[in-house]
Structure 1
Amino acid sequence: MDSLAATPGTGPATSPLPVIRAARKQRTFEDLPTDRTVVLGVLNVTPDSFSDGGRFARPDDAVAAGLRMLYGGADIIDVGGESTRPNAVPVDPAEEQKRVLPVIETLAKAGALISIDTMNASTAALALDAGAGIVNDVSGTDMDPDMPALIAERGVPYVLMHGRGDARTMSGLAEYKDVVEDVLAEIMEVRDRLYNGGVSPEQIIVDPGLGFAKTEEHNWALLRSLDRFDVLGHRLLIGTSRKRFLGTLLSTSGKAAPPEERDSATVATTALAAAAGVWGVRVHDVAANLDAVKVSAAWNG
């Protein structure tokens, strides 16, 4: 694949981006399938993500991975520049933007529908300018106060994920009287902030936030109760892919399965979630999970 030359005055191009022939039309939210669950491919442009940290930290590697997802059938590419694994070190928005913006621009040119995985309104705004079409915000109850106005102004879909605290504190905040009821109530509180900022109900996609301030049993309880989220009246997004609670489930001799050995269990959760009618799943292995949602759709007729 040909590469872009270094921009004059910026020094040598140590990690050039592939030259992408522009697609005739970039995918939009309205182009997404309505006869099956939507598949979001996870693209971590970070050195420290729990599953694939460092593999796609260079822009050219990230673009190549994103293109593989796109051409492999991913409906949306979810690009993130800050790890949200437990105890991850926060990333300055400027560094986050340096990581993700070139990748978003190139993948958008190739025609991909992109969601920006960020907790920062400033990063979300620049990502939307660069070609992203969805904001996926994992900040939970600690939402950036500038986020509602941005989402209202841009009119884009917004993923409201439940969570408490940040990567360093969330594990100590996993206490609930009734995890499903408490999560629903806290989602409604954050949703009210969005409504008050001018965001419309149709823009909101809800994510229960599996693994974010949740124990393993909390995660399973939420998965067993997906139908209870219907009361919110929004699309539902589920992210189980390679998460720790699946590794624990697959433990051998007391040792949890590593992330790369959790894909089959992820596919099983995808098939069950799709059968339960969720709008979307966020996954690392696009091909296998796309197969799962197609089988589920055919099974349900």
Structure 2
Amino acid sequence: MTTGPGTRPAAAEDEDAPVRRRPPVSLVLCSVWVVLVLASTLLAGLLPIAGYDEPVADGATPPFESWPEFLGTDSVGLSVLSRVIHGAQLSLAVALLGTVIGMAGGVALGTAAAYFKGWLATVVNLLSDVVLAFPGLVLLLAMASVTRPSVWSLSAMLGLLSLPSSLRIAYANANVQLGRDYVLAARALGTPAWRMIVREVLPNIAHSLVAFGFVMVATFMIALGALDFLGIGLPPPRPSWGGMIASGFDSIRTRPYLVFVPAAVLLLTVFSFNTIGDRLRERADGRGGHL
């Protein structure tokens, strides 16, 4: 096929076309798992499963011996599947609410400190250094031991612990954006500070904040599982993954599934949130290509 002086070969056009990369298999599987966990949590009341406090057998039933209780039952005949699904409700509620609290406070303080600088930046950074100086888990255990555990109290404690980290993420990214030409031009036009932050800065640092939020959800789920395992987390009768691991630990030799099932669900959920967060962070940094 002949080509004129004003045309380009088809091969050259193909080389200039953008290359669409397929998302990694691990990212797809992790996304499917997160959607499955969220869907089962939101639709727990509509699923054909027993209640988390409703006995379905006389005693411990091994997995894959009945349907729909294919994960077996515990020592008093409660469905492990039902308790895992209902336990996800509390774990995700506390983790997500704690992330929202910590991110909201951190982003507000971090962007304000980056914009106004001066004494505000000094005070904010000093307070974040003070909080970060304490071991996070020790501080969380101390606060949990003197408060009545509930979804709101645990979420507030986790949000407080994540405040310095989210503050630093917001402060660093906002500092970069505030030095860009479009911000300098908006400042020269007399744009108010709140409009500058909301309309100019926040949309351009949203990718980094969302990526950090996924990682924080995974971190909070581990912290909540540790508190539940130690007996100072969410109280019964509502199930939790950490509480299920603790209650089945004494019978791990005879009925190991009582520990391994909630532990595996917690592991897969934390791994999935971390994987998605890392991928979003790579994309925000410009190194990860397309999702």
Q: TM-score range by the shorter chain?
A: under 0.3
* TM-score normalised to structure 1 length: 0.23
* TM-score normalised to structure 2 length: 0.23
| Larger Rg, first or second structure (1 or 2) | 2
Greater fraction helix: 2
Higher relative contact order, chain-length normalized (CA < 8 Å, sep 6+): 2
Greater fraction strand: 1
